[in-house]
Each structure stands twice: as C-alpha cells, then as structure tokens.
Amino acid sequence: MKVCVIGLGTIGEPTAEHIHKHGFNVIGYDIIKKNLEDIETFVDWRQVPPCSIYVVTVTSDRVEDVCKLISKRDKKSFVLIESTVPVGTCRNIAKNHGLINVAHCPHRFWSEDPVNHGIKQLRVIGAINQECLEAAHKFYAKLDITLHACSSIEVAELTKISENAYRYVQIAFAEELKMICEEHNIPFEETREACNTKWNIDLLEARDGISGLCLPQDIQFLNRLSRQLSVLDGAIVSNRHYKRRLKNEM
C-alpha cells in the first residue's frame, strides 16, 4: 500500500517519517524540494505515482487545492485531512470534488516537544461516513496512534479549532491580568503563583503575545461561526493591546 504525504513542512515531514517507520511505502509531495531519508519526494504533481492513501498536511488555505488534484486522479482514493480547517470544509470538499473516502484527523503536533507531543499521541477523528471512519481507524492503528472517534467529521473539525481557541483565551487572560497588575504596581508573577496554589487553577505565563499561525487563525475560524461570541472578540482585542504595550516598552 503506497501512501503520499502532501505538504512536507513542520507537520508533514515527521508524519511521513512516522508512516515510513511503520512499514508503509511512503512518498512525499511539496511545492518546495525536500530531502527525506529513505523517502522519495516530488515537486511536480504529474510525477507523483498513484497512491492508495493521501495524507494532507498543508496549510489550511491549501487543503482544497490539493484535494482537487487528488480528485482529478482518483476519486476513490482515501484522503486523510490532518490540516486544521473551518467547520464544514471536509464534507464540502468531498461533495464539490466527488471524493468518496474522506476523513479528518487533525494533528496535535507541538514542534517544541516532538517526543511527548509529536505524531504519536491521542487524536480525534471524524469521517464523511461510517465506512471511512472504520478504514481510518485501521490505518492509524497500524501507525500505533490512538484515536477518539467523533460522531461526524464536523465534530472533529470543531474540536481542533476549539482546542486552539481555548488556549488563545487562556493566554489572553494571563496577558490582561499582567496589564492590570502593572497598572496597579502589583507583581504579576507573584499573583500568578498565588492563584495557582488552588487545585483547579493553572494561570499561564504572559510572554511575548500570541503570534504564529495556528492560534490566531483558529480562534477566527471559531469566531466566524457566531457573531455573538464576545469572549472570543475580547480575547483577540486583549492580545492586541498586550502586544502593543510590549512594543511601546521596547
């Protein structure tokens, strides 16, 4: 069984290596040339040989483009979307491009600690139908990856963006508390440490503001589902104020 990992960036490269180590014939595709040990890679889609399984690990805005390429080749191919996407994306892609076998197993990879939070960890999964879900379970079981099955592919999509939005709100709260402490000349770290003595409190550090791709993108994905979510809007505004304050202090 040949597996193609599409997108060989921060997530795709270790994903391809993990699948290869578990005995699969793996190839990789990316628009930028990547050299992976014992894994053949391509930058020209026309040269990519037909595969039974395509694992999609590209950025969110590229998911539909690569799925369209797959559909033009073989609509019966098994497509596993590990990229984070807005709710409704996977089913719409399957419908719009006639893909029959689509499942969504969003990654939880953390590049700062790939040993404890790498490819092999508990993940959620959803699919467009029960048959796809069962097939995906069999594939990931061979990769020694434990799955939490969702009743629909939309639940899996919402779970991923909710995880990151929740993290965003936690960080934004810590940032706002730090600004409050500074305004009243109260040491933030001492306050944080004191709060965290309570068994159900775990206030995060307030570092350099929320940046990068995942958290800012995913809180927006969640926020777009309803314009009545003032908590999310507030977190976004709070982080913006915090980063502005940090910049003024430099």
pLDDT tens-digit series, residues 46-100: 999 999 999 999 999 999 999 999 999 999 999 999 999 999 999 999 999 999 9
The one-letter amino acid code at 155 reads: V
Which pLDDT belongs to residue 227? 75
Query: 158: pLDDT confidence band, cut at 50, 70 and 90?
Result: very high
Q: Which of 17-31, 179-193, 201-215 has the lowest mean pLDDT?
A: 201-215
Closest among 224, 94, 66 to 158, alpha carbons compared: 224
Q: Which of 23-32, 73-82, 157-166, 228-237 has the lowest mean pLDDT?
A: 228-237
169, 232 in Cβ contact below 8 A? yes
Give the mean pLDDT of 146-156: 97
Give the mean pLDDT of 167-189: 96
Which pLDDT belongs to residue 14? 96
Q: Which helix (H) or strand (E) holds 51?
A: none
With a cut of 80, say whether residue 250 has pLDDT above it: no
Q: Which of 35-44, 158-167, 219-228 has the lowest mean pLDDT?
A: 219-228
Which pLDDT belongs to residue 73? 93
Which pLDDT belongs to residue 34? 92
Instruction: Give the span between the Cα atoms of 40 and 74, in whole angstroms.
Output: 21
Q: What is the residue-averaged pLDDT of the chain?
A: 95
Which pLDDT belongs to residue 212? 87
- Cβ atoms within 10 Å, residue 122: 9
